[in-house]
Structure 1
């Protein structure tokens, strides 16, 4: 409660004109922003405490990208004009020099150049969303026909162990383990400079979307498929169709994830790489 009071006091001192709560499920910040006396409070009607909003918007159900719904909320801003829509790109294009120098040293030590590696981010914070490690092993082996090395990223002992297991079965294919070596900024840097990201549904996929990095994401049926699908120009959201999509909870079986086939993943990767190469030639 003391933390809540401190937050209310701090927000009141700033005298904000508007709050926009992007979250569409409970819990949200509607009670907090009302107590902080922010005069214009925008959010979704179905997320709880909607009576405390000055502008309550109906949640449309998740059939489009979440970015479109965020834009819908912004249209409730006083005096908003469609021309005011921001570019949905990172707020920074230039990374700190110290991070650039460090990444140059790390990748240079492996003789890896920007745009000349595939990036695998195989784990996620919610383990039920992960593809089986045996399938990652098979996919890594199958990708040996490409000349590109595979860089692996992850954080924590569990993810590092998974990466070591996959790399240990890779045979002669060139794999680079960067688990537990990168800051968040540096993770974004390797995502941006990779030729292609292959990942579980995680932060890495959203970073690829922001930087317009080609990506193949192992999706899941917990939420409507389009809701969290990347909006990068070249991407594939892989999912095994099951009748319970979306379930909003997850389950012990997670067949929507675990039954995604090796050939389907390989085809998705090959297709994305081909489209990216074609686009590069056209725009180059």
Structure 2
């Protein structure tokens, strides 16, 4: 529910809230940019500690607020800021509590469209799901005199981060938060075999180290494993200097789009229609989507699962490695980098 739109519209101090996850936070970046550039607002962002670095080099933010577990870690300090408005792009129980703590400040809530996605998962009936989550975030600003500028996402990373002295190369993103978004080892081997004339860099978190090592060992001198070795900014720099990014439905997929990189996105238990496709500036589409069509058990959840509920994992095991290669070649021939 929106309330209070009678305050001044210049020189505002605005708190934007999104606690997780990586990709969702990157997708909020147009909101921050519009508030800063078009309203000259003092924009603060509130998230979890582990995601604070996503905003580290963003010039549109005045301050980043983070918590480890509980709102009470910063509530007293937030109250002292006397915000003119709060843009709630998470809309969950935690932000409901935040509204209680900051009672009296106008809150503007994102309508995330969770019900249609849940209904689709439960029934298989496909309602109108084409609205991108970025569009939903931007709709939260409808009480403000801002207009989407068509410039897509923002992600800022400087060359101060460790640069890989290797070009040209393709980045392959191994990590994903949920099992049903992860590309299996054998499928990665097929994909890597297809790109036999390219240097390949693997990125991921600590949970992906063994997978990265196994793939590196299977393709000596052609695959460089950086899983568990790079933080989010260093991984982003690897993406920034890559010719192509091959990834599942991950936060790094959205960072790649923010950096205007060509992406082959591979979809397992989730589907693009849920509104999380790579989001590029208007008139630009550098994504090629790969998925197993007409699989009755897809999508099996809105966000991903810890295991395949059918135990066969066909949504990933039946991905065509040759299709990944063909679509990647189309993007590489455009020479976007």
Instruction: Compute the TM-score of the two structures, normalised by the length of structure 2.
Output: 0.65
Q: Distance in 2 between matches of 1:137 and 1:243?
A: 26
Q: Distance in 2 between matches of 1:267 and 1:96?
A: 31
CA contact (8 A) 1:21 1:28 kept: no
Residue 200 (structure 2) aligns with: 150
Q: Distance in 1 between matches of 2:104 and 2:288?
A: 41
State yes or no: 1:82 paired with 2:147. yes
Quick one: structure 1 residues 216 and 20, their matched pair in 2 at CA, closer, same or farther if it must change by over 3 Å? same
Q: When you count helix as a share of all residues, which structure comes out higher?
A: 1
Q: Deviations over 1:104-125 (max 9, x none)?
A: xxx23xxx13xx1111112212
CA contact (8 A) 1:118 1:149 kept: yes
Q: Distance in 1 between matches of 2:224 and 2:112?
A: 45
State yes or no: 1:141 paired with 2:193. yes
Q: Distance in 2 between matches of 1:16 and 1:41?
A: 10
Q: Distance in 2 between matches of 1:138 and 1:228?
A: 26
CA contact (8 A) 2:212 2:226 kept: no
Residue 261 (structure 1) aligns with: 320
CA contact (8 A) 1:9 1:36 kept: no
Q: Deviations over 1:191-243 (max 9, x none)?
A: 11100001122121011010010011112343553511102331112211223
Residue 247 (structure 2) aligns with: 199
Q: Deviations over 1:219-278 (max 9, x none)?
A: 23435535111023311122112234444354434432332121222222122223x23x
Q: Deviations over 1:48-91 (max 9, x none)?
A: 9xxxxxxxxxxx964222111111112233xx2326x5843325
Q: Distance in 2 between matches of 1:154 and 1:3?
A: 28
Higher RCO (Cα < 8 Å, 6 or more apart): 2
Q: Distance in 1 between matches of 2:254 and 2:140?
A: 20
Quick one: structure 1 residues 150 and 46, their matched pair in 2 at CA, closer, same or farther if it must change by over 3 Å? closer
Per-residue deviation, 1:154: 1.7
Per-residue deviation, 1:21: 1.5
Quick one: structure 1 residues 221 and 16, their matched pair in 2 at CA, closer, same or farther if it must change by over 3 Å? same
CA contact (8 A) 2:153 2:279 kept: no
Q: Distance in 2 between matches of 1:183 and 1:138?
A: 27
Q: Distance in 2 between matches of 1:258 and 1:22?
A: 34
Residue 80 (structure 2) aligns with: 13
Superposition CA RMSD, Å = 2.8
Secondary structure at the aligned position of 1:237 is classed as: strand
State yes or no: 1:248 paired with 2:301. yes
Per-residue deviation, 1:32: 1.0
**1:55-204 alignment runs, 5 A limit:** 62-77=129-144, 80-82=145-147, 85=149, 87-90=151-154, 92=156, 95=158, 97=160, 99=161, 102-103=162-163, 107-108=164-165, 112-113=166-167, 116-144=168-196, 146=197, 148-156=198-206, 158-170=207-219, 174-204=222-252
Residue 107 (structure 2) aligns with: 41
Secondary structure at the aligned position of 1:271 is classed as: helix
Per-residue deviation, 1:96: 5.8
Quick one: structure 1 residues 32 and 68, their matched pair in 2 at CA, closer, same or farther if it must change by over 3 Å? same
CA contact (8 A) 1:34 1:41 kept: no
Figure out how many residues of one structure are paired with residues of the other and give that number.
Answer: 246
Instruction: Compute the TM-score of the two structures, normalised by the length of structure 1.
Output: 0.76
Q: Which runs of 5+ in 2 are unaligned?
A: 1-68, 115-126
CA contact (8 A) 2:112 2:133 kept: no
Secondary structure at the aligned position of 1:238 is classed as: strand
State yes or no: 1:210 paired with 2:258. yes
Residue 96 (structure 2) aligns with: 30
